Structure formats: structure tokens, C-alpha cells
Amino acid sequence: MRIGVLALQGDFAAHAARLSRLGAEPVEVRYARQLKEVEGLVLPGGESTTNLILLESEGLWDALQRFARTRPVLGTCAGAILLARKVSNPSQPSLGAVDITIERNAYGRQVDSSIRWVDPEPEFAARTATGPLEAVFIRAPIIRATGPDVDVLLRDGADPILVEQGPHLAATFHAELTGDTRLHELFLEKVRSNRAAGGDC
Ligand code: GLN
């Protein structure tokens, strides 16, 4: 199963390594035409503003928007910011594929980055495995509001940190930096169901 990892900026290599470890074939995506060859796409963490500039200059923005209409996208941290419907602090364009309002750098500066253990919501545990999950937050955003079609799969206190809408997943933490493979496994499962449901690829 070929899975794209947007490779313009940020920690795309860690996602690619995780995907191959799970038996998928990662494709580093730098050009719009490459999106035709993959069944799902990971938008990695990094700096969302830089990614936006690069996406526009490479002509990838429209292609990404079309991709997200039919195929699954996993966005982590800056990637979740790109997927959101609305971005604040400051506001910036986003794909609008997941109906969330997200606030950038909401925990503060780099020194306020942290690693925390969270207890999965029952639905996440049922679809993956039980047990606490290590979540790495690096200048992370906070999801401030979720629309009616959004399910929250993980929370840190009251804040949603992993949400799902249709084929897409958005996480505010870096799941690719720990040994816990559950998020990527869940994503690959969603790519398989999208294929089975006749998702265009
Ligand atoms: N602070 C970054 C942003 O707002 C996201 C950080 C990350 O992806 N780790 O784009």
C-alpha cells in the first residue's frame, strides 16, 4: 500500500520510517503528480506557515484539496493545522478537511513543549489497543472547537488531541516520535477501508 508523506519541510522522515515498519510503502511527496500514485497521505509536523508557502509555490495546494475529498489524510501537529477548517493565533489559510478550530502554539513557546501520557478514549482503545499513550507536544496547537461530524479519539485533560472526520485523522502531537505505533496503524486501517469502499485512487 503506497502512502504519501508530504516532504517539503518538517519531520517527514520519521513518518516514512514508521510507515515502512508497518509494512506500507512510503512515498515522499514533493510534486502534485505524485498524489495520483498514493492511497493516503501524511502531513507531518514542522512549521505550518512554511509549509503553506512551499505548498503554494509548488502548486500543491489545489491538488491537496482535491486529494482530501476522496482519500484519507493524517495530519500531525503542523499537519493538523493544515487540515483544520479554521486556524487562529494568527489566522492563516487551511484545507478545511476536518471541521475543527485550532489555535497555533497554544501551549506557549518551545520551552513549554512536553511529553505527556494520555489514557485513550474507549473508541480508540477498541480500534487499536488499550493502555496509556505517550504524546509528544512540540510547539503544539490546541483544538479549541470541533464540529458535529468530528469524533474525539484522544484527549489530554479536556482538550481533544486526536480527532477523526470521515477518512481523515488530525493529531496535535507527534505520534511518529515514540515507539507507539497505534496512530499509524489506525490510519492504515482507514486507508484500507477507504479502498474497500471504492475510494478513488
Ligand atoms: N508551531 C508549529 C505551527 O504552528 C507546529 C509545530 C509542530 O508541528 N511541531 O505551525
> What confidence tens digit (pLDDT) does each residue in 18-55 have?
999 999 999 999 999 999 999 999 999 999 999 999 99
Compute, in angstroms, the gap from residue 200 CA to the centroid of ligand 1: 30
Task: Summarize pLDDT for 55-100 with one digit per residue, the tens.
Answer: 988 889 999 999 999 999 999 999 999 999 999 999 999 999 999 9
Task: Summarize pLDDT for 106-148 with one digit per residue, the tens.
Answer: 998 777 789 999 999 999 999 999 999 999 999 999 999 999 9
R_g (Cα) of the chain, nearest Å: 15
Q: Is 173 left (phi over 0), alpha (psi -120 to 50) or beta?
A: beta
Preceding peptide of 148 cis, ω within 30° = no
pTM: 0.96
Give the integer Cα–Cα distance in Å for 16 and 6: 10
Do residues 104 and 88 touch, judged by C-beta distance below 8 A? yes
Q: Which atom of ligand 1 is nearest to the CA of 104?
A: 4
Compute, in angstroms, the gap from residue 71 CA to the centroid of ligand 1: 24
Give the integer Cα–Cα distance in Å for 179 and 190: 21
Which has the closest alpha carbon to 41: 154, 129, 196, 170?
170
Query: What DSSP letter does each residue of 56-119 carry, written as one string?
Result: HHTT-HHHHHHHHHHS-EEEETHHHHHHEEEEESS-------EEEEEETTTT-SGGG-EEEEEP
Q: What is the mean pLDDT of the chain?
A: 95
